[in-house]
């Protein structure tokens, strides 16, 4: 499929009148674009924006990120979830600085080789920061491409990714990759939305195969979802009269690696359901549904639990905590 000049013009005119003003669009600083791309990997723009502002305010350059403590970086990520993204960024910043890069990596291959960076992110940074001819395919762009070409290949499989990458490469405006990628992404986010887009008034309708074949609402196709695993977490918040408590850092290769939380016993469903004390939250992660019970346990002295740390409850903010832990603290007004 080839895009004609007319289609580019339609797309760019739509973009000009409808685009959101976003701080990472107002800059060509590759470091800031990288931060925004990592934040937006699993997070919606409106949700990610305040995190981005706070993050680049505290870590305005590659060097400032590389020189920070990992725990502080994680604290600035707190609430965004998927902490491995922050850990990889931190690792990448240290690698780049140790190899003498002052601002960021310069070429697609150098960027792609960094931890936590796949084809999409490398393409997006290359196009947005350096105006290099690489397509940037996020979930919104996959949807637009699947519809424009009326293609049923699941976009979240490796075959699908390869296919749509090729399509995106063919239609890319090589004279203006930055504008093209930004416009197509924004068009997917705001106009060619998942359900019932306004196809009748769509500026790209003439080229849209799904519209012609009446398959818009069937596209894009995803691979079947993996089964969600249920887990049962029993947390105890020990609290002394002078407000000391116990926390521990997760060490296992599991969710929330290196984050801090209250002492935890994981049980099966029956044991969990036999308890009646505490407050129960359900917390959904990508492949797990956590049933978490928090029990506030006033004590005169803290119990001796291996690998825990004694902290004053008001100092707990100095540690990177999971969103679930924060939710429980809010509930108990700690
Ligand atoms: S016609 Fe509908 S499905 Fe096709 S690109 Fe436009 S909004 Fe998307």
CA-closest candidate to residue 195, choices 143, 151, 234, 231: 143
Dihedral angle, C-alpha 324, 80, 305, 274, nearest 10 °: 20
CA-closest candidate to residue 261, choices 272, 285, 277, 245: 245
Q: In whole angstroms, what is the distance from residue 108 CA to residue 110 CA? A: 6
For 3, 227, 229, 283, the CA distances from 286, given in Å and listed in that order, are 36, 10, 10, 10
Q: What's the pLDDT at 225?
A: 82
190 CB within 6 A, ligand 1: no
37 is catalytic: yes
Out of 5, 16, 37, 252, pick the active-site residue.
37
| Axis-axis angle for helices 119-130, 177-190 (nearest 10) | 120
Question: pLDDT digit of tens for each residue in the chain (334 aa)?
Answer: 566 788 999 999 999 999 999 999 999 999 999 999 999 987 889 999 999 999 999 999 999 999 999 999 999 998 888 888 999 999 999 999 999 998 999 999 999 999 999 888 999 999 999 999 999 998 999 999 999 999 999 999 999 999 999 999 999 999 999 999 999 999 999 999 999 999 999 999 999 999 999 999 999 999 988 789 999 999 999 999 999 999 999 987 888 888 999 999 999 999 999 888 889 999 988 889 999 999 999 999 999 999 999 999 999 988 999 889 999 999 998 8
What does the domain layout of the chain look like in residue ranges?
Answer: 5-218, 229-331
Cα of 129 from ligand 1 centre, angstroms: 28
Indicate which residue's Cα is closest to atom 2 of ligand 1. 199
Within 8 A by CB and 6+ apart from 198, the residues are: 191
Cα of 185 from ligand 1 centre, angstroms: 13
| Axis-axis angle for helices 30-39, 84-98 (nearest 10) | 160
Q: In whole angstroms, what is the distance from residue 252 CA to residue 8 CA? A: 50
The atom number, within ligand 1, closest to the CA of 202 reads 6
Give CATH superfamily name and number for 5-218: Hypothetical protein; domain 2 (1.10.340.30)
Q: Which CATH architecture has domain 229-331?
A: Alpha-Beta Complex (3.90)
Q: In whole angstroms, what is the distance from residue 47 CA to residue 139 CA? A: 16
Whether pTM exceeds 0.75: no
Backbone angles phi, psi at 293, to 5 degrees: -105, 130
Q: What's the pLDDT at 211?
A: 97
Beta strands 229-239 and 309-312 are unpaired
Q: What's the pLDDT at 275?
A: 85
């Amino acid at each position: 499929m080839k895009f004609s000049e007319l289609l580019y013009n339609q797309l760019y005119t739509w973009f000009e009148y409808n685009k959101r003003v976003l701080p990472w669009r107002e800059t060509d600083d590759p470091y800031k674009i990288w931060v925004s791309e990592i934040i937006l990997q699993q997070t919606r723009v409106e949700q990610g924006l305040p995190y981005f502002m706070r993050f680049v305010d505290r870590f305005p350059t590659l060097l400032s990120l590389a020189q920070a403590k990992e725990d502080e970086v994680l604290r600035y990520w707190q609430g965004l979830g998927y902490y491995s993204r922050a850990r990889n960024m931190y690792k990448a910043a240290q690698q780049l600085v140790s190899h003498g890069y002052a601002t960021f990596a310069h070429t697609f291959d150098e960027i792609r080789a960094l931890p936590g960076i796949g084809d999409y992110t490398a393409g997006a940074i290359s196009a947005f920061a350096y105006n290099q001819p690489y397509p940037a395919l996020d979930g919104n762009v996959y949807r637009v491409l699947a519809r424009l070409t009326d293609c049923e290949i699941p976009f979240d499989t490796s075959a699908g990714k390869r296919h749509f990458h090729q399509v995106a490469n063919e239609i890319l405006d090589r004279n203006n990759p930055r504008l093209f990628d930004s416009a197509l992404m924004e068009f997917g986010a705001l106009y060619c939305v998942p359900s019932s887009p306004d196809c009748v008034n769509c500026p790209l309708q003439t080229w849209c195969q799904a519209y012609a074949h009446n398959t818009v609402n069937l596209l894009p196709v995803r691979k079947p979802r993996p089964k969600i695993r249920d887990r049962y977490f029993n947390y105890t918040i020990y609290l002394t009269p002078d407000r000391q408590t116990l926390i521990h850092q997760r060490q296992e290769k599991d969710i929330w690696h290196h984050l801090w939380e209250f002492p935890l016993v994981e049980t099966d469903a029956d044991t969990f359901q036999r308890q009646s004390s505490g407050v129960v939250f359900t917390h959904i992660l990508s492949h797990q549904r956590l049933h978490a019970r928090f029990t506030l346990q006033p004590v005169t002295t803290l119990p001796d639990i291996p690998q825990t740390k004694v902290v004053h409850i008001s100092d707990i903010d100095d540690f990177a905590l999971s969103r679930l832990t924060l939710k429980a603290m809010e509930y108990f007004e700690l």
